[in-house]
Structure 1
Amino acid sequence: MRRTRQTTLGLIAVIAALGLTACGSDDDEPAAANGGGTTAAATAGGDGVAQAKAAVAQAERTTGVEFPQPDEAFDPGTGKVAVISCGQAGLNCKQGSDDVRTAAAAMGWKASPVFDGEFAPAKQAGYVQQALREGYDAIVLVSIDANSIKAALDAAAAKDVPVACVMCANKDFPGVIDVTSGGVADGTAIADWIAADSDGKAKLLAYDDKSFPIVAERLAAMKARLGEVCPDCTVEDASIPTTDLSKPGPPTWTAALAKYPAGKLGYVMAPYDPFAIPFTKTAEQRSRTDLKIGGYDASPDFVALIAAGNGPAKVTTAAPFPYASWGAMDQVARVKAGKQPWESTKLPVALVTAKNAAEFDEGFFSPDDFDYEALFKRLWGKS
């Protein structure tokens, strides 16, 4: 991977400060991943597991990966872009925002200082309104739920100010162009790994965090894929409040460990890596060697636990945040220049396992054989 990233635990404290709550399931036994219905894979014998194993091999690749990209060069001209971060205490939000500013400079645009949304929709909406008052030509959001700031974004659309969002799940939200994996690739890759690793017989506990729409997209994709390739796999749905991140355990997880003694579960999927880290450490402290724990977003601390290879931490996904940030800048300038946006909602992700974890110390998917900066500079006439 091309660039070094700094690990931060600030995401844990800031997400916890959101104060959102959710409740877990009370069912004692996991429900079928496909809702109990028959799938094509259910009649295919072991073919589903074979398909999953082949898919895992593909998802673990860190070179030779195809990225959706624009193919039409254009003159971006000059302009001002407002960069609004979901929260600068989060590694992905901070680095994604910094990358947007770098892309803007390469394009010849002037970027605002990063507006820190502090994981608070009211603050994020206020920055959108500020950008409109101050005459910015475009807005780039970084990992922000558009529906939570709808009125402000409606105002941007009314003024024909283009808006793009880095690594978001704002499906069909008018006026916002997502540059993202969308969550589907992430959830699908995790499902393939679970099916392959369990040889088609996983008992899985999967957590949602309702404060981030992309988590729900990942869960839906994971369960849909399991229904195809692993009809004998079972999934227990659960939710965990973000406030748990600031508490030992966390409490919802320690309750689950009591509910499911050794032998009742094999696999646990956290909503993202900042939860997967304490899940793993608590499981280790309680000698729960029967569990295999996964997450999303390739937080460097969790990747290090996977690389060690001797504990419950087994899998996560890495998203191409750097490419998404440059792509978002391209999209808003392209629209401002009267061009059509390109399809940017199905960016690839990489599956991170012990096999390739050493390649993800920076925490993002940025293949060494894909020079996205050179690509965009060429399209902008800046090479």
Structure 2
Amino acid sequence: MSYPFRAARSRALAVLAVGAALTAGLAACSSSSSGGDDAGKATASSGGSTDSALSQTVASLEKELDAFPVPTDSVDGVADLAGGTVYYIPITSRAPQFAVTQQGLTAAAKAAGLKVQLCDGEGTPTAISACVTQAQHAKAAGIVLDGLAYDMAANAIDAAQKAGVPVVLSNQLPSDRHPVSATFAYAGTAGSPQMVALADWIALDSDGKANVLINEATDGESQIAYVDAGIAEFKKVCPGCTVTVNKISSASFQQIPSSTSSALLKNPDIDYVISEFAEFLQPTQQGVQQASAKVTMTTGASALSTLKELKGGATLAAATAQAAGYQGWVDLDAILRLHAGQTVPDYEIPSRLFTPESAGSLTLTSDAEVSGEWFAPTTYTSDFQKLWGMQ
């Protein structure tokens, strides 16, 4: 059975329509498999919020902040690290978000008298481990790992720490198996808030009757936890919604179109699609085309190219993004605090929900993206430098 949503709202914004339209409808409240052996379905339970409250929530998610949440405690001994090199190792350089974080990290390092060396993790444990080992042998001033699970290169990361190289794991949820230490820290993530925001937007946009496909990255526990947070939000605010999860990964990037197409063909009532990360958006859209499906397309972890596509309104209806340039400054701040033997704070990484209307009001340039002006006033660069004793 399905549960009625407690209020109605006119559905708006663009949909991705390719080929023949598929019939949309409510799915039954039961569990089944879809999208091959790597897919599963979760159906919302009864309950939810009023349309008015949800409208206010969505409106608040689209607003920029008054200020970035910069730490307040100063950092000692930054000048002593001048000339050192910080290695930046994203899970894959394919993701546009990581390119922005690299630029932020490079600017932060320059302000502190350091340099940044990129090493592409290529989505595989072998490449990630090689990058970490390279940084260790180069006696790096620090290693920033972005978007990857510790267990993908645990032996190499452990060895780097034993050699005295500080390691910061960014864009991952803290794990009890890998607790913080004098040489290891986490640097914040906005993955869950982005999935929650997309769930809220879809619940409102669909009159509480969406049939959703989420392309979930399985590269680590955090990526799965982000989607779980989105599913929990659907259950809370959209009891008439059904969510199908299609499991994908960076390592199997070329299989995403066929995997997506298969999930859509097995679930012809799907009318909304979420790509968990923008790096998977294009192959997800290819899968929609292959299935000749008519869906409303959304994505998380957006970058400049994604928001330009969103502004056009023809293929993308909603997107979330996090302040990836600011994240680079946070990553360096964590490295500096580890060097100083000081407590690394629980960083907050701002994120924001965008629609074609709100994206149209942004300055859609690379400089604006890196600066973080889409999220809040950009005084944080000066604020960090003051904390580091560089101003």
Query: The TM-score by the shorter chain falls in which range?
Result: 0.7 to 0.9
Equivalent position of 2:31 in the other structure: none
Deviations 1:165-197 (A, max 9, x none): 333345343343222324221111111111111
TM-aligned CA deviation for residue 149 of structure 1 = 0.9
- How far apart are the structure 2 equivalents of 1:61 and 1:323? 17
1:151 maps to 2:159: no
Determine if contact 2:123/2:251 at 8 Å carries over to the other structure.
no
Measure how far apart 1:89 and its partner are: 4.4
Match of 2:43 among 6, 29, 32: 32
Q: CA deviation at 1:78?
A: 2.3
Secondary structure in 2 matching 1:72 = coil
* Cα 1:158/1:296, change in 2 over 3 Å: same
1:255 lines up with 2:259 in the alignment: no
Deviation string, structure 1 residues 136-185 (Cα, Å, up to 9, x no partner): 33222233322211112222333443211333345343343222324221
Which one-letter code corresponds to 2:258 in the other structure? P
Distance 1:241 1:330 in 2: 30
Q: 1: CA distance between counterparts of 2:173 and 2:162?
A: 22
State how far apart, in whole Å, the 2-side matches of 1:295 and 1:329 are.
28
Matched residue type, 1:32? T
CA distance in 1, matches of 2:39, 2:164: 44
Q: Note the C-alpha offset of 1:297.
A: 1.3
1:91 corresponds, among 80, 92, 96, to: 96
2-structure distance, mates of 1:253, 1:131:
37
1:163 aligns with 2:167: yes
Within a 5 Å distance, the mapping from 1:1-383 to structure 2 comes to: 23-25=37-39, 31-33=42-44, 36=45, 42=47, 46-47=49-50, 49-64=51-66, 66-75=67-76, 76-79=78-81, 80-86=84-90, 87-108=92-113, 110-172=114-176, 173-175=178-180, 176-240=184-248, 242=250, 245-246=253-254, 250-261=257-268, 264-280=269-285, 283=288, 288-289=293-294, 291-311=295-315, 313-344=316-347, 346-358=348-360, 359=362, 361=364, 362=366, 366=373, 367=375, 369-383=377-391
Q: TM-score, normalised by structure 2?
A: 0.77
User: Residues 236 and 55 of structure 1: is their aligned pair in 2 closer, same or farther, counting only changes over 3 Å?
Assistant: same
Shift of 1:276: 2.7
CA gap 1:144/1:215 in 2 versus in 1, 3 angstroms: closer
Question: Identity of aligned pairs, percent?
Answer: 24
Instruction: Tell me the matched-pair count.
Output: 343
Distance of 1:356 and 1:284 partners within structure 2: 27
Inter-partner Cα distance in structure 2 for 1:133 and 1:304? 41
The TM-score with structure 1 as length reference comes to 0.79
Instruction: Quote the offset at 1:378 in angstroms.
Output: 1.3
Secondary structure at the residue paired with 2:378? Answer: coil
- The unaligned stretches of length 5 or more in structure 2 are 1-34
The one-letter code matched in structure 2 to 1:217 is A
1:284 is displaced (CA, Å) by 6.3
Contact 1:85–1:114 under 8 Å retained in 2 = yes
Question: Judging changes above 3 Å, is the alpha-carbon distance between structure 1 residues 81 and 174 closer, same or farther for their aligned structure 2 residues?
Answer: farther
Q: SS where residue 357 of structure 2 aligns? A: coil
